[in-house]
Structure 1
Amino acid sequence: MEAKINSSSLLVSEFFLICFPNYQSWQHWLSLPLSFLFLLAVGANITLLVTIRLEASLHEPMYYLLSLLSLLDIVLCLTVIPKVLAIFWFDHRTISFPACFLQMFIMNCFLTMESCTFMVMAYDRYVAICKPLRYPSIITDQFVVSAAAFVIARNGLVTMPIPILSSQLRYCERIIKNCICTNLSVSKLSCDDITFNKLYQFVIGWTLLGSDLILIILSYSLILKTVLRIKAEGAVAKALSTCGSHFILILFFSTVLLVLVITNMARERVPPDVPILLNILHHLIPPALNPIVYGVRTKELKQGIRNLLRKL
C-alpha cells in the first residue's frame, strides 16, 4: 500500500482548484464585482504611482512609502485575482506545482511586507507629530531606502520556508478546495505529516503581524498622548488629520484579516465557502481602498491627481 501511495504521489505534477464547491452556479455572478474591484484596485494604484512619480511636490518620504504600499497591492492583486477570474470565466482550474508554490510565497511574503510597511508609515507619522523639528533629519530618502530594504529582506527570508516546506511534501491528492494556493489548503493534500509546516506558518505569521501591530499601536498611543498636550486652537484636528488616512488603511487591513482569522478558527460553524471568499476579498478590498482614501483625504495628492488628469 505504501508503494502505491509513493508511486501515485509522483504522478501529481499539478493541482486542480475547486472554487466555492457548494456554490458553483454563483461563480459567474460573483466574477462581476470581483472584476470591478480588481480593475479599481489596479487602476487606482497605478494612478497613484504615476502621480507621485510625475509631481515633484510629492517627492517626499511619506509618499515614497505610499508608493511602496501601492506596489505591494498591485503585485498581490495580479498574483491572485487573474487566476480566480480564469477559473470563473474559462474553467481553467489546473495550476502547476511551480505556479502554485510561487503564488503561495508571494501571498505570504507580500502580506507581511504590507503589514511591515504600515508599521514604517506609523513610525513616520510618530516622528512627524511627536518630533516635528527632527523630522527632516530622521525621515530622509536614505531612511526610506533602508526601510524598504528591511521590509523586503525580513519578510522575504522569514516566509521563504513556507512554500519550500510545502513543495518538499509527497502529494497523494491534487484537488484543492480553494481558489488560491494557500499553505494549509495545499499541504493537507499530502501523505506526509504536516505538523511542522502548520506550526511554522502559525508562529511566523503571528510573530511578524503581531509585532507590527504592537509597534503600530505604540506609535499611535504616543501620537495621541502628544496631540492631547497641544494647546493651540485647531492644532489637534490638524495633527490628527495628517495620520487619519493612514489609520483608516490600517483599519481596513486589520479588520479584513481579523475576520478571516476568526472564520478560519470557527470552521465548524461557518460554511467552508465563507473563508475562501474572505481570503479573496482580503487581496482586493484593501488594495482598492488604499489609494482612494489617500487620494480623497490628502490635499497634495488630490491636486497631483487633478494635474495628471489635465495632462491626459
Structure 2
Amino acid sequence: MTSGGNNLSSSYFILVGIPGMENIQLWFSLPAFCIYLITLLANISVLLTIKTEESLHQPMYLFLSMLLLTDLVQSNAILPKMLLLFLFNLQEITFEGCLLQMFFIHSFSVMCSSVLLAMAFDRYVAICQPLRYSTILTNPLIAKIGVAVAMRGTVLVLPHPFLVRRLPFCNSHMIEHTYCDHMTVAKLACADIGVNVVYGLVAVLLTAADFIGITVSYSMIVTAVFNLPSREARHKVGSTCVSHVCVILLAYIPALFSSVTQRFGGKIAPSTQIILSNLYLIIPPMLNPIIYGIKTKEIKRNVLKLYCAQRSRCQ
C-alpha cells in the first residue's frame, strides 16, 4: 500500500466476491439489482410521504425517517459496488475507497441499531406514559437523539479504518468478500491484528447492548398491554408495536446468525457465510419501509395518495 508501513506494491484491493462461485456470480446480479431498486423506491416513497404529510410529523414517524435514511446510505455503500462486481467483474477497489466503504457500512449499521432503540423508547412512552408523551418526546429531544445516533455510529466505528490503515499488507490483497468488511480486510495483514480483533468485538458488544435496552422497553410494554382492561384495547395498543417488532427481528436475528457463523462456523462454507453477511445488510433496508407501509394505515394511505398525485400530474 502507499501508506504507512504497507509493503504491497499497489494501492488497491481485489474483491473476489463469493468464493467458489466466481463463475456464476453474474446470476446474482438480477436479484441484487431488484433488491436495490425496491430499496430505493420503497424508502424514498415513505420518506417523501412523511415529509409532505403534516399529519405524519410525529415522533414515531420522525424516528422511522431516521431508520430509512440509515438504510438508504447503507444500501448505497454496498449494492452499487456489488452490482459492478457481479455484472462487469470490476473487482478493484482503491485502498482509500475500501476504508471509506468499511466506515459507511459499519457506522450506519450501528446507527440503525441506535434508531431501533430510540423507536423502542418512543413506543414505551406512548404506551406506558401516554399522558406525558407530547411533553417527553418534543422536537428538540428528537433532534438531540438524532445527533446522538449519528455521533455514536461515527465515533464507535471511526477507529476501524485507522486500525486497518496502520497494518502492513505484504502478500495478498484479495478480499474474499463482496465488500470491505473490517475483519476480512484486517486478516490479510502480515502483522498482529489483536487490537483489531479486540476493538471489533467491543464495537459488536456495545451495539448488541441496544438489544438489551429494546428488550427491557418491550418487557414494560407487554406488562402495560396485559394490564389494560379490555381485549379490544390490548389489541389496538399491541398492533401499534407489530411493525417495530418485525423490523427488530429482521435486523437482529440475521445479524446475530451471521456474526456467530463468521466467528464459530468453522464447518460452514465461506460462500454461505458471505451470502448470509450480505443478506443481513441488504434485505432489512428493502423490507423495513414495506413492513411499515403494510402495517401502518397512515403510511399506506398517504403513500397511495402520493403515487396517485404523481400519476395525475403525468397525465
Secondary structure at the counterpart of residue 180 of structure 1? coil
Check the 8 A contact 1:81/1:280 in 2, yes or no.
no
CA-to-aligned-CA distance 1:174-209 (integer Å, 9 cap, x gap): 1111111001111111112101111101112112x2
1:116 maps to amino acid? S
Q: 1:121 to 1:27 in 2, by over 3 A?
A: same
Secondary structure at the counterpart of residue 267 of structure 2? coil
1:211 maps to amino acid? A
Q: Which moved more, 1:29-38 or 1:211-220?
A: 29-38
Q: What is the alpha-carbon distance in structure 2 between the residues aligned to residue 66 and residue 242 of structure 1?
A: 13
Check the 8 A contact 2:258/2:277 in 1, yes or no.
yes
CA-to-aligned-CA distance 1:94-120 (integer Å, 9 cap, x gap): 000111001111111100110010000
Secondary structure at the counterpart of residue 20 of structure 1? coil
Using the TM superposition, give the Cα deviation of residue 248 of structure 1 relative to its aligned residue in structure 2, in angstroms: 0.5
1:147 matched to 2:139: no
2:184 maps to amino acid? S
Q: What is the alpha-carbon distance in structure 2 between the residues aligned to residue 169 and residue 188 of structure 1?
A: 10
Q: What is the alpha-carbon distance in structure 2 between the residues aligned to residue 164 and residue 18 of structure 1?
A: 23
Secondary structure at the counterpart of residue 13 of structure 2? strand
Secondary structure at the counterpart of residue 193 of structure 1? coil
- Specify the alignment match of 1:47 in structure 2: 45
2:177 maps to amino acid? N
Q: What is the alpha-carbon distance in structure 2 between the residues aligned to residue 26 and residue 305 of structure 1?
A: 38
1:253 matched to 2:271: no
Secondary structure at the counterpart of residue 95 of structure 1? strand
1:267 maps to amino acid? G
- Specify the alignment match of 2:128 in structure 1: 130
Check the 8 A contact 1:12/1:171 in 2, yes or no.
no
- Specify the alignment match of 2:67 in structure 1: 69
Check the 8 A contact 2:6/2:168 in 1, yes or no.
no
Check the 8 A contact 2:67/2:115 in 1, yes or no.
yes
Using the TM superposition, give the Cα deviation of residue 139 of structure 1 relative to its aligned residue in structure 2, in angstroms: 1.0
Using the TM superposition, give the Cα deviation of residue 26 of structure 1 relative to its aligned residue in structure 2, in angstroms: 2.0
Using the TM superposition, give the Cα deviation of residue 7 of structure 1 relative to its aligned residue in structure 2, in angstroms: 8.5
- Specify the alignment match of 2:79 in structure 1: 81
5+ residue gaps, structure 1, are 1-5
Q: What is the alpha-carbon distance in structure 1 between the residues aligned to residue 302 and residue 5 of structure 2?
A: 60
Secondary structure at the counterpart of residue 45 of structure 1? helix
Q: What is the alpha-carbon distance in structure 2 between the residues aligned to residue 190 and residue 304 of structure 1?
A: 51
Using the TM superposition, give the Cα deviation of residue 225 of structure 1 relative to its aligned residue in structure 2, in angstroms: 0.6
Secondary structure at the counterpart of residue 283 of structure 1? helix
Check the 8 A contact 1:69/1:117 in 2, yes or no.
yes
Q: What is the alpha-carbon distance in structure 1 between the residues aligned to residue 208 and residue 182 of structure 2?
A: 19
Question: What aligned pairs does 1:190-205 form with structure 2 within 5 A after superposition?
Answer: 190-205=189-204
Q: What is the alpha-carbon distance in structure 1 between the residues aligned to residue 173 and residue 208 of structure 2?
A: 33
Q: 1:231 to 1:100 in 2, by over 3 A?
A: same
Check the 8 A contact 2:5/2:168 in 1, yes or no.
no
Q: Which moved more, 1:192-201 or 1:25-34?
A: 25-34
Q: Which moved more, 1:87-96 or 1:275-284?
A: 275-284
Percent of aligned pairs with the same residue?
A: 38
1:239 matched to 2:241: no
Q: What is the alpha-carbon distance in structure 2 between the residues aligned to residue 7 and residue 118 of structure 1?
A: 40
CA-to-aligned-CA distance 1:39-74 (integer Å, 9 cap, x gap): 111110011111111111111111111011011000
1:168 matched to 2:163: no
2:290 maps to amino acid? I
Aligned length: 306
1:112 to 102, 110, 113: 110
CA-to-aligned-CA distance 1:122-167 (integer Å, 9 cap, x gap): 0000000000000010111112101101111122112110111101
Using the TM superposition, give the Cα deviation of residue 8 of structure 1 relative to its aligned residue in structure 2, in angstroms: 7.7
Q: What is the alpha-carbon distance in structure 1 between the residues aligned to residue 275 and residue 5 of structure 2?
A: 35
- Specify the alignment match of 1:287 in structure 2: 285
Q: What is the alpha-carbon distance in structure 1 between the residues aligned to residue 125 and residue 260 of structure 2?
A: 34
- Specify the alignment match of 1:301 in structure 2: 299
Check the 8 A contact 1:126/1:223 in 2, yes or no.
yes
**RMSD (CA atoms):** 1.3
TM-score (norm 2): 0.94
Runs of 4+, deviation exceeding 6 Å: none
Using the TM superposition, give the Cα deviation of residue 31 of structure 1 relative to its aligned residue in structure 2, in angstroms: 1.3
5+ residue gaps, structure 2, are 311-315
- Specify the alignment match of 1:3 in structure 2: none
- Specify the alignment match of 1:226 in structure 2: 224
1:27 maps to amino acid? Q
